[in-house]
């Protein structure tokens, strides 16, 4: 069985999608449509933007979504047995699995990006990657720190991302290094994604998700919040919203997909970060 997986924020790079645009008529059509829907030339930013321009959440999220979804549209005989996406990638997975139309998917991702960026502006916050400790040790340290700092991305055994206020995350990093972490360092992101600090984004995004027409996907989608396969549209909607303030259970997702029969994991989107995580989860 083939599992298609879709990356999240952080995979962006200048030039992403340019080759697709130039070589595939379908890609050109979808990119041009995206410029109209968004009301700005995202293709200019994707194909030739600076790192700083691409780091803006309102640009990053639709850019990665577009690259991923258009890759799936240009993949010959695309027929997934199951799909999953890391954070933002969950929206790409839903479009690839035909649960969401391209247009509605892009509008939802754009709404998600704007609401998350607004939430980030309310309080200085950040994320940090922690390497070399068990998940349980990291959870215990986070729980002991004053302020908001929580596990955000269970990426693979020995790698977990934490999220919260800047002071609490920095304090946690020092405590984690003292506990034996090989690395505990802040990431260049604009906010505390997948933490309680995203709560203010839930209302606006909730309206957009509730109004979206989500159909039964052509294959199960393994969602971030519980790492389980879903096909029920109402449950999918609720999980998309809950994802904002809940951790991404990527380790558990890949393990469950493998247990359910996935023997090949194909990453669609910029970079190959998820392929590396799959190897560490299943084969190391």
* Residues known to be catalytic: 87, 194
Q: Both tokens of residue 12? A: 């962006």
Enumerate the β-bridge partners of residue 79: none
Q: Are 37 and 23 in contact (CB under 8 A)?
A: no
| C-alpha–C-alpha distance, residues 261 and 62, integer Å | 31
Q: Both tokens of residue 108? A: 């939802």
If DSSP codes are grouped into helix, strand and coil, which group holds residue 126? strand
If DSSP codes are grouped into helix, strand and coil, which group holds residue 8? coil
First to last CA, the chain: 21
Q: Are 241 and 202 in contact (CB under 8 A)?
A: yes
Of the candidates 172, 173, 151, the residue with the CA atom closest to the CA atom of residue 249: 151
In which residue are the tokens 């200019």 written? Answer: 44
Enumerate the β-bridge partners of residue 183: 131
| C-alpha–C-alpha distance, residues 284 and 271, integer Å | 21
């Amino acid at each position: 069985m083939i599992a298609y997986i879709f990356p999240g924020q952080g995979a962006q790079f200048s030039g992403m999608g340019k080759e697709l645009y130039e070589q595939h008529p379908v890609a050109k059509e979808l990119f041009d449509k995206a410029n109209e829907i968004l009301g700005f030339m995202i293709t200019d930013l994707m194909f030739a933007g600076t790192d700083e321009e691409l780091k803006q959440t309102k640009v990053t999220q639709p850019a990665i979504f577009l690259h991923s979804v258009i890759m799936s549209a240009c993949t010959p005989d695309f027929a997934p047995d199951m799909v999953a996406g890391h954070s933002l990638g969950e929206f790409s997975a839903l479009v690839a699995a035909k649960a969401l139309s391209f247009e509605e998917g892009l509008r939802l991702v754009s709404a998600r990006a704007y609401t998350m960026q607004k939430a980030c502006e309310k309080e200085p916050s950040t994320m940090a990657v922690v390497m070399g400790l068990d998940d349980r040790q990291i959870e215990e340290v986070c729980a002991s720190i004053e302020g908001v700092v929580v596990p955000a991305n269970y990426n693979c055994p020995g790698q977990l991302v934490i999220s919260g206020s800047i002071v609490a995350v920095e304090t946690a990093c020092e405590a984690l290094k003292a506990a034996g972490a090989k690395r505990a360092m802040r990431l260049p992101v604009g906010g505390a994604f997948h933490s309680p600090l995203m709560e203010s984004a839930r209302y606006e995004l909730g309206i957009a998700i509730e109004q979206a027409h989500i159909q039964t996907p052509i294959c199960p989608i393994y969602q971030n919040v519980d790492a389980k396969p879903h096909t029920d549209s109402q449950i999918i909607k609720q999980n998309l919203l809950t994802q904002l303030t809940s951790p991404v259970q990527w380790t558990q997702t890949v393990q469950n997909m493998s247990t359910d029969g996935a023997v090949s994991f194909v990453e669609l989107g910029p970079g190959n970060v998820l392929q590396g995580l799959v190897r560490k989860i299943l084969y190391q």
